[in-house]
Amino acid sequence: MDHRDDAAAWAAPTPADGATDHRPAATPAVDYGVPQAAAPGPVPTPPAPPAPTWQAAPGPVPAAMPSVGHAPTYASWQPGFMPLRPLSFGDLLGLPFRAMRYNRGVIIGGPLLLTLVATVATAAAMWLLFTDPSLGLLDPNSTFSAISPTTIAVGVVALVAALLADVLSSAIVAPGVARGVLGERIRLGDAWRAMRPRVGSLLLLYLIAGGSMLVVVGLALTPLMLSAVNNDATYLGLGLLLMVTVAFPAGVLISTIGGISRPVVVLEQRGAVAAIRRAVALVRGRFWWSLLVVFVASALIGIVSSVLQQVGSFGAVAVAFAAPDNVVALAIAFFTVTALSLVVSYVLTYSYLGSLFSLVYIDLRIRHEGFDLTLAEAAEARRA
């Protein structure tokens, strides 16, 4: 499937006037858009498939479900790395690792490439800063004058690279997870072509989420700063209360809505604001459950990431003891060990959380829109 076919596959449906038959083409496309209202008239109900025991009782057929002329078989209920059913709490915590193994070139390779670029740029900026003769960090007898323009320019490039890596690393995972659900393995170039038109929307989404987080944290930190200035315990108590009751829950909420909005932007080809509205609509009825999943998963992967970074710190200290007299060799080894530990921890975090948010998005669509039937019929059509 070339890029044009792939873009059409993820676009929202645009049925022709008077057309009610949504039969897929030779290569069926899964519609990740919002289900549209059905045209007047009875909705054809396919015969009941030999479904697994977890299948819900028969109910209304979703209006957006494509008709393929025959019901999906048992094999189509798990065409990829996950079963096509509502996912449990344990499923959502464990399936991201299966997704990482299934489409590793995208789900691990994408964040790895972006993180490496940002890490190299950051290491270059730190090295220039460390060896800049005007700063005299290597020569205790020198006097400070001014940072060279080259050091400033590389520092700006490193900052931009780190920002883009943070914005895009978890978003590029979404096509790999979505295709893996259907049993398809795609290349990193395919995922990039699917995400590239939405980079602007992803940046805007990042700014909205980041700005909201700053407002919430600033609201809680203001009393703490007033307490430090006025030496007043009242402000201290108010600040701690706001941190626990406002800043922390709001931070989890912003992370959840922002995380679910990323696959919406990439898969449904929506703008940032429309994706936020779509994410808010999806979590209705599953609000606290979604927040709990994201909080527990973020806490677990945060602990693992911190352990990896601590291992890198211990390795850097060991290097310092191995070559205490050679400052240049010590700096190179220190930066290398530290950068490797950071790359591993960041890639694991981006890959895991990016997969988790994509799976939460798919699970919410299964629960609200019967999206498992759409996916199962698309998988059956591909097998036919």
Per-residue pLDDT at 54: 30
Q: Within 10 A of 55 (CB to CB), how many other CB atoms are there?
A: 16
Closest C-alpha to 380, from 65, 98, 95: 65
pLDDT attached to residue 142: 54
- 219 and 242 Cβ atoms separated by less than 8 Å: yes
What is the rounded CA–CA span in Å between residue 168 and residue 206? 10
CA-nearest of 92, 103, 29, 93 to 66 is 29
User: What is the reported pTM?
Assistant: 0.78
Q: What are the pLDDT tens digits along the chain (384 aa)?
A: 444 444 444 434 444 434 444 333 444 556 666 555 444 555 455 444 443 323 333 444 444 444 444 556 666 688 889 999 999 999 999 999 999 999 999 999 999 999 999 888 888 887 777 776 666 555 555 555 667 777 788 888 888 888 889 889 989 999 999 999 999 999 999 999 999 999 999 999 999 999 999 998 888 888 888 887 877 777 888 888 888 888 888 999 999 999 999 999 999 999 999 999 999 999 999 999 999 999 999 999 999 999 988 888 787 777 667 666 666 667 677 777 778 888 999 999 999 999 999 999 999 999 999 999 889 888 888 776
pLDDT of residue 4: 47
| Cα dihedral 255→259→260→263 (10° resolution) | 170
Residue 67: the pLDDT is 45
Give dist(CA 188, CA 143) in Å, integer: 49
Tokens of 331: 């700096």
Position 313 scores a pLDDT of: 78
Are residues 21 and 48 in contact, defined by beta-carbon separation less than 8 angstroms? Answer: no
Question: Which residue in 34, 35, 31 sits closest to 8, CA to CA?
Answer: 31
Cα(86)–Cα(357) distance, integer angstroms: 15
Per-residue model confidence (pLDDT) at position 156: 87
Chain-centroid distance, C-alpha 323: 40
Q: How far apart are CA 353 and CA 194, in angstroms?
A: 19
Q: What 8-state DSSP symbol labels residue 245? A: I
What amino acid is encoded at 93 in this protein? Answer: L
Q: What is the pLDDT of residue 136?
A: 54
What count of other Cβ atoms lies within 10 Å of the Cβ of residue 318?
Answer: 11
Which CA distances in Å does 190 have to 7, 80, 176, 195?
10, 18, 9, 9
The CA R_g of the chain, rounded to the nearest whole Å, is: 25
Give dist(CA 188, CA 113) in Å, integer.
Answer: 10
- Enter the DSSP assignment of 327: H
> Distance between CA atoms of 245 and 143, rounded to whole angstroms?
49
Helix then strand then coil, % of the chain, to nearest 5: 70, 0, 30
How far is 64 from 210, CA to CA, in rounded Å?
34
